[in-house]
Amino acid sequence: KNEVEQSPQNLTAQEGEFITINCSYSVGISALHWLQQHPGGGIVSLFMLSSGKKKHGRLIATINIQEKHSSLHITASHPRDSAVYICAVRGTNFGNEKLTFGTGTRLTIIP
């Protein structure tokens, strides 16, 4: 079993829909990252959080440490949001610099 599991693996939605991507992990963590990878391959860091909730524009990330679960929400989705969204965790046992990555959720927004 992978230490970081994302769901769904693939998600297709209509423009304007509210999107939720989930990430579950099995180890104690010190931080969780949400990343966005565009078709060309470049990766952008969206959020790093260790508790509660963060918001940036139409993106919202939440984390529940007790349940070992995080969600990434996109409001008023747009075709330019189409990308692979990756969850990664920094474990308390891994050392400060190592992240364990999920395999990503491929999101496609149809106009």
Partner 1 sequence: DGGITQSPKYLFRKEGQNVTLSCEQNLNHDAMYWYRQDPGQGLRLIYYSQIVNDFQKGDIAEGYSVSREKKESFPLTVTSAQKNPTAFYLCASSYRGQRRFFGPGTRLTVL
Strand order in the sheet with 52-56: 4-7, 19-25, 69-74, 59-64, 52-56
- Let me know: does 110 contact 17? Beta carbons within 8 Å: no
What does the per-residue mask of binding to partner 1 show for 24-53, with x meaning CB under 8 A?
-------x-x-x----xxxxxx--x-----
Q: Which is nearer to partner 1, 5 or 17 (CB)?
A: 5
As measured in angstroms, the least distance from the Cβ of 67 to partner 1 is: 21
Task: Tell me the window of 14-22, 51-59, 62-70, 95-103 that interacts with partner 1 (CB under 8 A).
Answer: 95-103
Work out whether 60 is an interface residue with partner 1 (CB under 8 A).
Answer: no
- Residue pair 54/5 in contact (Cβ under 8 Å)? The answer is no
Whose CA is closest to 82, among 57, 60, 105?
105
In the numeric block, which tokens belong to residue 72?
Answer: 């990434």
Task: Give the binding site for partner 1 (CB under 8 A).
Answer: 2, 4, 31, 33, 35, 40-45, 48, 86, 88, 90, 96-104
